[in-house]
Structure 1
């Protein structure tokens, strides 16, 4: 397993890779890095695949454009297309977790000639909403429920990243704690932030690291986000309405390549995206696997590496 930099069109990407054989691309989410896939990189390499896990645009050792508009879904998909080409390949299987899942789903939607199969973790495919931009819909849902703002709405503020940048270690520790499957009920995040509070303040100050995360592994995250900051990662969220406007050509499009999806039973993200799980087969007709992992939370590839590795290899074997 090695880390290196690879130059793609206009972007210098840091990748974690191992193995030789058919390419499998592993896309992380927020607030993670390519290192979140170490267990999968090792398992895939041992099974005869070339596993590549990049630090995504705005994260870790990869370039961090300064304009918020440079983090749209089409640019994120373009980064993956460029990465496959720079690796000398003409096809791959794409795997995505959290924010990486929408990127992976859109890779499948827009370039089925290049991405021959897609495996989503934690966030199901969400078809484009024809009634209007998503942030307005989120605000309406939050108002109706009376639970406060959905954190995604708070992330729209131009200075939202500053609270995270002020103390990266505390922010990261609380986020990993609040979305982990081992965290008891009542201490997990609901995703909603009451008036007068922040995302960070809604998580108890005595939040501990998840059982699967060592202090050494956590220190890698703290070092990366202390150096690179949270502005770029939050710019992904600030492009939601721009993404909606730019993807009108994908309205009602289906994912036609083989697909799979798995999610943790206790993943708090299911509170606000879980409704899309039931209709996933309608949008991905060749859905070969849909699994709910008992007791698991949001960080599923790190919480349940053996289960993820087994199902991922099973899916790859079905292609």
Structure 2
């Protein structure tokens, strides 16, 4: 039985919380929104048993990692610098990046910016299709016009925090359910005006999705109740900054071995043609679809994700 251990590192001015299991080649696991290291709870012991040192991070703004005020500290350049430094401090020259949701862009950007150090990348739910022609928020405003879109709603600091922190359990249910296997595949109702609030646009399902127990949900509820949502929401407030900062590397080809996993009921990979463009930016990527699975893939289908991820890692 491999023991799961907590540790802390000072990384580029932030105190990071790490949860580690096993020994061997390093696999760094980065989570998304609204999650934490805990979203990798099913993967840590499985990877350790397979002969790897699995390290799941609380990303900045989450859990026991620091929560800087500066919005720009959550950019993908800053985060990928952190990932490389964490590997160095753990005494690894090379490592594998594994990321889900917002953790997937971190894995992709780290791979692009540190190609000599990242020996392989595995991403879940969010593909990488290269750098768009325009800043992302311009495209969102044009696409959604006078309709509500949650990413645009998240842009102004303070507004979303005030609403979502007023009822953390309801917020989490509203985010988990729609893009889980049981959901309808959309985060928000399409008939809401652009100035609606999130709770207007995202109905409360009144229950947790099947993959999440009450005990597991309480782990997230307690964390976000204690620490708030300013840091997690700041990831969304960097999308145009990420675009600007990626000017010199955003369309580089990823030549390392790559794996992309997604659920057949997850709408995110299909947005904007990213999945098709990824085949050109990441020409050697293995794309695998999991059946009866939504966006929260490593929690919805842990055994299947573990099997596919370990098979990929064993081939390196």
TM range (shorter): over 0.9
Offset of 1:2 from its aligned partner? Answer: 1.9
Structure 1 residue aligned with 2:141: 139
- 1:180·1:188 contact (CA, 8 Å) conserved in 2? no
Structure 1: stretches of 5+ with no match in the other structure: none
| Matches for 1:295-314 after TM superposition, within 5 Å | 295-314=292-311
Structure 1 residue aligned with 2:266: 267
- 2:44·2:56 contact (CA, 8 Å) conserved in 1? yes
- 2:127·2:269 contact (CA, 8 Å) conserved in 1? no
Deviations 1:30-82 (A, max 9, x none): 00000100111111001010000000011111000011122111011111111
CA distance in 1: counterparts of 2:86 and 2:197, whole angstroms: 36
Structure 2 residue aligned with 1:255: 254
Equivalent residue in structure 1 for 2:115, among 112, 116, 120: 112
SS at match of 1:152: helix
- Is the counterpart of residue 282 in structure 1 residue 285 in structure 2? no
| Matches for 1:1-319 after TM superposition, within 5 Å | 1-130=4-133, 132-143=134-145, 148-159=147-158, 160-183=160-183, 185=184, 188-190=186-188, 194-195=192-193, 197-270=196-269, 272-273=271-272, 275-287=273-285, 289-319=286-316
TM-score by length of 2: 0.94
- 1:26·1:96 contact (CA, 8 Å) conserved in 2? yes
Deviations 1:264-318 (A, max 9, x none): 1111324525x2112322111221x201111100000000001110110111122
Moved over 4 A (4+): 190-193
CA distance in 1: counterparts of 2:229 and 2:17, whole angstroms: 17
TM-score by length of 1: 0.93
CA distance in 2: counterparts of 1:193 and 1:21, whole angstroms: 51
Offset of 1:192 from its aligned partner? Answer: 5.4
- 1:55·1:61 contact (CA, 8 Å) conserved in 2? yes
- 1:117·1:257 contact (CA, 8 Å) conserved in 2? yes
CA distance in 2: counterparts of 1:102 and 1:162, whole angstroms: 27
- 1:25·1:94 contact (CA, 8 Å) conserved in 2? yes
